[in-house]
Amino acid sequence: MTQTPAPWGTRRMGPYTATTTIPRYTPVIDPETQVAVIRDQHGRQVELGSHGTSTSGLTPTTTAPGDGAGPGGATDTDSTESYDQDQSSG
């Protein structure tokens, strides 16, 4: 019976460095405002920073053949995507 060697990547692994415990946060719905808030392990509200909003859209473009005086020619279609990111303070 032959033994399968360990994959090469596992032979290169080393022990993890020392880690720290990350506090536990829980999202809850505020019953008054109906907005999600984040609470820590002691029930205190935690501010995670401001988050911006963004919009995106797909704009189709089309080219028609010729100068319109007669039929024929190739038609080409394409689209351009736009993406706008709000600047959030924080």
Domain coordinates in residue numbering, the chain:
23-48
Higher pLDDT, 29 or 50: 29
The answer, yes or no, to whether residue 23 has pLDDT greater than 70, is yes
How big is the chain, counted in residues?
A: 90
**pTM across the whole model:** 0.34
Q: What is the DSSP letter of 71?
A: S
Helix (H) or strand (E) holding 9: helix 8-12
